[in-house]
Chains A and B, each alone.
Chain A
Amino acid sequence: MNESAAGGASAAGRSAVASSGAGPAFSKSEMMIVAAARELTGQRVCFVGVGLPNIAVNLARITVAPELELVYESGVFGAKPARLPLSIGDPTIVTGATAAVSMFELFSFYLEGGLVDVGFLGAAQIDRFGNINSTVIGDYASPKTRLPGSGGACEIAINARQVFVIMRQSKRSFVDKIDFRTSPGNLGGAENAARIRREQGWLGRGPSVVVTDLGIYHFDDSGEMRLDSIHPGATLDQIRETIGWEPKISAALATTPEPSADELRLIREELDPEGAYTK
């Protein structure tokens, strides 16, 4: 969930990436956050994960999804944060919220009860079926890198109506086989996943969107990730070089619209003036 724990923090400061069009210059991280926020268009209730989901969801709330109800696992429904919180337990998510509830109530009634439309997660590793590892790199008992673990991610992946994932893609993160399955996605394929979800009475349909610094993926009928949109400036070679399997690519591959001046201003001036998320 917390990517700086996964791969070591890169240097602060935004890496300048020239835009391909006539609009303002933007970084890969900014493109990723904007693309993720736009995917929330029309959604109502979103469970906000630690890290990148936090900024993407908050951008969506002030742009494409003004009706979005933010749910934080710390026990808040209908948060209206006045600053972008570093942690998902910041006091600003309480002041002015619709409801501050116990974690028991949040996980039982809001999440297990099926009221969450989108669970928005980060990940250290993901496979082609959207299964997520946020627990450990290497062997569990003798790990190479110990990551934070599930937090609420495991139950979010099972109970949220659908799951969005935002993460930077690399050979280390987009892997053929994840080291540990923390949160179930489409398991070994769509048919198997649908059967298990149906038989077990899960309300969640599983992963539906993965947004990276290079493109936007949805899941095809077989339950596998498919590149549907490539970000401006990214190439298919870059996509293939940063995935540990041969990726499916849509026959109708689109180019993600560039961030608007307004979206960039909101990220740079209001949401993340210190560049904590957009480094």
Chain B
Amino acid sequence: MSKVASMCDAVAANVHDGDVVAIEGFTHLICFAAGHEIIRQRKRDLTLARLTPDLIYDQMIAAGVARKLVFSWLGNPGVGGLHAIRRRIEPGAGAGVGGAAVLELEEYSHFGMVGRYTAGASNLPFYPLRSYFETDLPKANPLIRPIKSPYGDETVYAVPPLKPDVTIVHAQRADAAGNTQMWGLLGCQKEAAFAADRVIVVVEELVDESVVRADPNRTVIPGLIVDAVVVEPWGAHPSYVQGAYDRDNHFYRDWDAISRDEATTQEWLDEFVYGVSDRAEYMAKIGDERMAALQPLGSALSGSVDYGVYK
């Protein structure tokens, strides 16, 4: 059964006000297209979970979709801070001024977040990790709790399961049933998808089931847990897709200037999110020249393996 849907329909059917939403992907395969559609549909009171909120959550929080952020590293990698989010955290930058809502934070480390998705995906009550000891993180977030080993004197820290209402991932390809293959940095999309109640997969390319079955080791997410498949080339821009297009580092730098000011941030959202109806219109605004500049310089093929035929 085909689960192929438009981005508009997939978001309308699977993302609801008040949901816990995880758009995962570590630097790689961040689905900006879905984030922008959530903004356009004016979802509200979301809890946004991601290891690295990145520009996508800076934009979504600037647009007012979220009340809470669950995260582990809040920055623009190699560039600086996430200014729209900081304006909702730092009193000196305007947070809470004039009754403006302050963003609620729930903070972990990277491994803590990965462990949370892992516990969520495997229906365990917590995930134990060797982190947090002798730090201020458990004070900042009382959900990070020490637990004594049942087999000895060691203490480890536990983090609670994270089960998003909906996880959204971007990938190179999937078939119509949602069997999804990706390569390059895999982050924790598998854990986040298995932990979620609903899963939207957004892909560069829709492929036949035979393509998936020819290389089963590359399947990260089975269609079994997928609710919608959206085909949206360039849906990860300004993030990247290994082998398809490069990270738009210029945009990551540009955003630093755009987002320093609330007015220019809103102007950008007006033009590039509210002002377009879908990803194709957004990419038309980005332009052919920029898209050409983001093409890989050449191919680096994986070679192939022989799975063998057994009857």
Q: Enumerate chain A interface residues (CB-CB to B < 8 A).
A: 1-2, 4-5, 9, 50-51, 54, 73-76, 85-91, 94-96, 100-104, 107-108, 111-112, 135, 140, 142-155, 158-159, 180-184, 187, 196, 199-202, 276
Chain A to chain B: the 4 pairs with minimum beta-carbon distance, closest first: A89-B27, A151-B73, A148-B75, A87-B77
For residue B58, CB closer than 8 A to chain A, the reply is no
17 contacts between A and B (CB under 8 A): A4-B80, A5-B80, A5-B81, A91-B243, A107-B129, A143-B90, A145-B90, A148-B81, A149-B73, A149-B109, A154-B131, A154-B132, A155-B109, A155-B130, A184-B134, A196-B134, A202-B130
For residue B79, CB closer than 8 A to chain A, the reply is yes
For residue B303, CB closer than 8 A to chain A, the reply is no
Q: Which residue of the partner chain, among A9, A73, A112, A196, contacts B110 with CB atoms under 8 Å?
A: A73
Interface string of B174-191 (1 = CB under 8 A from A): 000000000111111011
Check B78–A2 contact: CB distance below 8 A: yes
Which residues of chain B from 125 to 152 have any CB-CB distance to chain A below 8 Å in the complex?
Answer: 129-137, 139-140
Chain A nearest CB from B155 CB (Å) reads 6
Binds A, one of B13-21, B245-253, B266-274: B245-253
| Distance of A128 Cα from B252 Cα, bound (Å) | 35
Check B247–A87 contact: CB distance below 8 A: yes
Which A residue sits closest to B154, measured CB to CB?
Answer: A201
Main secondary structure of the interface of B (DSSP, over half): loop
Apart from A2-B75, A5-B76, A104-B114, what are 4 other A-B pairs with CB-CB below 8 Å? Answer: A140-B139, A146-B89, A151-B109, A152-B109
Interface string of B77-91 (1 = CB under 8 A from A): 111110001100111
For residue B265, CB closer than 8 A to chain A, the reply is no
Chain A nearest CB from B57 CB (Å) reads 13
State whether A87 and B78 are in contact (beta carbons under 8 Å apart), knowing that A150-B72, A154-B137 are contacts in the complex: yes
- B-side contacts of A151, CB under 8 Å: 51-52, 72-73, 109-110
Check B184–A155 contact: CB distance below 8 A: no
| Distance of A73 Cα from B28 Cα, bound (Å) | 13
| Distance of A146 Cα from B71 Cα, bound (Å) | 13
Check B153–A142 contact: CB distance below 8 A: no
Which A residue sits closest to B243, measured CB to CB?
Answer: A91
Interface centre among B72, B85, B91, B185 (most CB of A within 10 A): B185
Q: Which residue of the partner chain, among A73, A94, A104, A111, contacts B242 with CB atoms under 8 Å?
A: A94
Chain A nearest CB from B266 CB (Å) reads 21
Check B27–A74 contact: CB distance below 8 A: yes
State whether A196 and B133 are in contact (beta carbons under 8 Å apart), knowing that A74-B27, A148-B74 are contacts in the complex: yes
For residue B278, CB closer than 8 A to chain A, the reply is no
Interface centre among A50, A74, A111, A182 (most CB of B within 10 A): A74
Q: Which residue of the partner chain, among B85, B131, B136, B191, contacts A135 with CB atoms under 8 Å?
A: B136
Check A182–B136 contact: CB distance below 8 A: yes
| Distance of A102 Cα from B78 Cα, bound (Å) | 22
Check A146–B183 contact: CB distance below 8 A: no
State whether A88 and B187 are in contact (beta carbons under 8 Å apart), knowing that A150-B109, A152-B111, A154-B137 are contacts in the complex: no
For residue B167, CB closer than 8 A to chain A, the reply is no
- A-side contacts of B185, CB under 8 Å: 74-76, 89, 94, 100
Which residues of chain B from 147 to 205 have any CB-CB distance to chain A below 8 Å in the complex?
Answer: 153-155, 183-188, 190-191
Q: Which residue of the partner chain, among A146, A181, A182, contacts B86 with CB atoms under 8 Å?
A: A146
Chain B nearest CB from A273 CB (Å) reads 14
For residue B37, CB closer than 8 A to chain A, the reply is no
| Distance of A26 Cα from B155 Cα, bound (Å) | 48
- B-side contacts of A4, CB under 8 Å: 79-80
Check A89–B77 contact: CB distance below 8 A: yes
Interface centre among B81, B296, B300 (most CB of A within 10 A): B81
Which residues of chain B from 229 to 276 have any CB-CB distance to chain A below 8 Å in the complex?
Answer: 240, 242-243, 246-247, 249, 252
| Distance of A184 Cα from B247 Cα, bound (Å) | 33
| Distance of A69 Cα from B66 Cα, bound (Å) | 40
Which B residue sits closest to A148, measured CB to CB?
Answer: B75
Check B132–A149 contact: CB distance below 8 A: no
- A-side contacts of B133, CB under 8 Å: 158, 184, 196, 200, 202
Which residues of chain B from 71 to 122 have any CB-CB distance to chain A below 8 Å in the complex?
Answer: 71-81, 85-86, 89-92, 107-111, 114, 118
Which B residue sits closest to A75, measured CB to CB?
Answer: B185
Which A residue sits closest to B247, measured CB to CB?
Answer: A90
- A-side contacts of B155, CB under 8 Å: 200
- A-side contacts of B184, CB under 8 Å: 91, 94, 100
Chain A nearest CB from B259 CB (Å) reads 13
- B-side contacts of A76, CB under 8 Å: 185
- A-side contacts of B91, CB under 8 Å: 142-143
Check B188–A103 contact: CB distance below 8 A: yes
